[in-house]
Amino acid sequence: MAKQGKDLALSMLRTLPRLSLNNIRDNPGARKPSKRGRGQHGGDKHGAGNKGSGQRQNFMRPGYETGNNPFYLRFSYEPYYKGHHLRREYPPLSLQKLQLYIDTNRIDPFKPIDFVSIINTGLYDFKIEWKHAGIHLTDEGSDNFKAKVNIEVQWASEPVIAAIERNGGTITTAYYDTNSLFAMQDVERFFTTGEPIPRRLLPPTDCLEYYMSAATRGYLASPEEISHERLILSQKYGYELPKIEDDPDYEMLIERKDPRQLFYGLSPGWVVSLKDKAILKPKAEYLKKFYSS
């Protein structure tokens, strides 16, 4: 058997060609062809075309449609979007979340609740750069709302007002301008600047009627008209209006800010020094007149 194997190997060597440069080759897959050749028509422009701005980095202006009538000329002007970038937005806060904040001791219901109280919880998302203008209190969870509060928000609907007044509480809708909101968004940062507390500006004409209406509990409305609207709303929703005059927390429930005031207990024009733990009040008459006018 060994002799037969040797004879077979010798016979194969006689028939196979000799190893030379013209019959060696690489293993299959060892050599990979180039990704791109010159092509039939040159292929030396690298996808940049022939002439004009297409072969340069001179990109077309936004809205140009290579000679066609552009989109903004094919369709007429839509005034619905006029001034949309200037419109105020009110991030929502539901009554259900407000009750949760009270139950978890993030908000003290025995003190007046305003924009600063809700911001200090750290759970309300508010950004002035997004044109946010205050709190929109919504009626989600109104059936489960049981707290008696004195709250001030920037926007509220009729069911929200009824849910709060049904429990013996009070609600006020008040306007704050952008400069005031900047000071109230981060009170500690504002006090460290050493600037006096600004005075709150009056609402613009597009929302002046809302904040002067007693039906929306506007802060510029007459207290007598608000008392009358409280009674009308209780008759409309079918609940007995509690008498806040007999409530032990009557002083807290009727506490309101001045139309120029930002913080409870602090007047416009005062300078709060956190380092010295002192409050500096203006003494000049023209400053007192300016901040109170």
Each residue's pLDDT tens digit, 235-293 = 999 889 988 888 898 998 999 999 999 999 888 989 898 888 899 888 888 888 888 87
Q: Residue 43's pLDDT band (boundaries 50, 70, 90)?
A: low
More confident: 104 or 62: 104
The predicted pLDDT at position 292 comes to: 81
Residue-averaged pLDDT of the chain? 87
pTM, to two decimals: 0.70
Contacts of 135 (CB under 8 A, 6+ apart): 90, 91, 93, 115, 118, 124, 153, 154, 155
CA distances from residue 186 to 119, 161, 269, 280, 290 in whole angstroms, order as listed: 8, 28, 18, 20, 25
The predicted pLDDT at position 175 comes to: 95
The predicted pLDDT at position 276 comes to: 87
- 8 A C-beta contact, residue 151 and residue 171: yes
Q: Where are the domains of the chain?
A: 85-262
